[in-house]
């Protein structure tokens, strides 16, 4: 089954993420405008600037840039703490994900073009952004809302208690790990091997992994986990849980690619979304121990 026949999965991911994140941003912006206008303004402006930056750098289409801005704003509102500092929110790990993805997609581009695996020059689509970053926003704002409701919170705006942010951070770490592993594996690695059989396959094959790519992805997950922990002052427990979740999601992504994606049951956006969900699920399980 061709990937084009699975375009509905990309639309489904976008429809799951964007309405929820958009509604959260509207409600939180309304609350913070009344209680702390400067924080609301900083959040909206910085999210918009990040989205505009991805557009200018041709790292995303206009709709993808807008989607990324909404998701970033949702994550920032959900991780706000007193005193309000934009740099002490999820903005930092989101920025780390973007920078890692932007840099590694451009490393060795000529080689990737010869292999036919280079990312398109117009940048990522809205569905790709939602598939990579959306789950982090869903679980972070969802857990924050559940925490406030469970503790009889009287205000609408919900900030996630730490170390619960490790769940959303794990999803962000996986998103970076997946991109970096794939991009750097094509440049640094030799012939990749299928994760299920360890047989040698062509570069770019769904489910293929390489030692160099895997190590690069593991390192990227650690960088994003560290950036998030530093931003919110989360501590070592949050770091290890988020990193473990990100690494688990990285290999879960390859497993889905080698099985369901290669059989035409999932497209890449669905695989990415489910892999970030797997990363978040492991982080949540580790927190519950």
What does the pLDDT look like over 159-196, one tens digit per residue?
666 788 999 999 999 999 999 999 898 888 678 899 99
Token pair 């879960």 in the structure block, residue: 252
- Top pLDDT among 68 and 30 is at 68
Widest pairwise Cα distance in the chain: 59
Which range marks the domain in which residue 32 is found? 3-288
pLDDT value for 112: 62
Q: How many domains does the chain have?
A: 1
Count Cβ atoms below 10 Å from residue 220 Cβ, excluding itself: 29
Instruction: Give percent of the chain above pLDDT 90.
Output: 69
Write the pLDDT tens digit of every residue in 235-288. Answer: 899 999 999 999 999 999 999 999 999 999 999 999 999 999 999 999 999 998
Is 203 a residue whose pLDDT tops 90?
no
Mean pLDDT of 25-46: 91
Residue 110 has pLDDT above 50, yes or no: yes
């Amino acid at each position: 089954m061709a990937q084009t026949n699975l375009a509905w999965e990309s639309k489904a991911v976008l429809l799951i993420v964007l309405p929820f994140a958009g509604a959260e941003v509207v409600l939180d912006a309304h609350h913070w405008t009344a209680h702390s206008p400067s924080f609301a303004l900083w959040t909206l402006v910085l999210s918009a600037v990040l989205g505009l930056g991805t557009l200018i750098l041709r790292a995303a289409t206009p709709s993808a840039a807008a989607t990324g801005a909404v998701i970033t704003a949702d994550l920032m509102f959900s991780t706000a703490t007193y005193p309000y500092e934009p740099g002490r929110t999820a903005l930092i790990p989101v920025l780390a994900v973007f920078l890692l993805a932007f840099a590694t997609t451009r490393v060795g581009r000529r080689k990737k073009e010869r292999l036919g695996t280079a990312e398109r020059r117009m940048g990522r689509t809205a569905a790709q952004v939602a598939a990579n970053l959306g789950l982090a926003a869903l679980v972070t704002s969802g857990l924050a809302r559940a925490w406030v409701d469970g503790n009889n919170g009287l205000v609408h705006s919900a900030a996630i208690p730490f170390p619960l942010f490790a769940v959303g951070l794990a999803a962000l770490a996986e998103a970076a790990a997946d991109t970096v592993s794939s991009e750097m594996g094509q440049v640094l690695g030799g012939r990749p091997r299928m994760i299920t059989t360890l047989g040698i396959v062509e570069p770019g094959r769904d489910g293929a992994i390489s030692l160099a790519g895997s190590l690069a992805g593991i390192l990227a997950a650690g960088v994003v986990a560290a950036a998030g922990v530093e931003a919110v002052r989360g501590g070592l427990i949050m770091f290890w849980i988020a990193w473990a979740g990100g690494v688990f999601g990285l290999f879960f992504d390859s497993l889905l690619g080698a099985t369901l994606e290669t059989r035409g049951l999932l497209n890449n956006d669905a695989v990415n979304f489910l892999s970030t969900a797997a990363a978040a699920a492991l982080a949540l399980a580790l927190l519950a121990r």
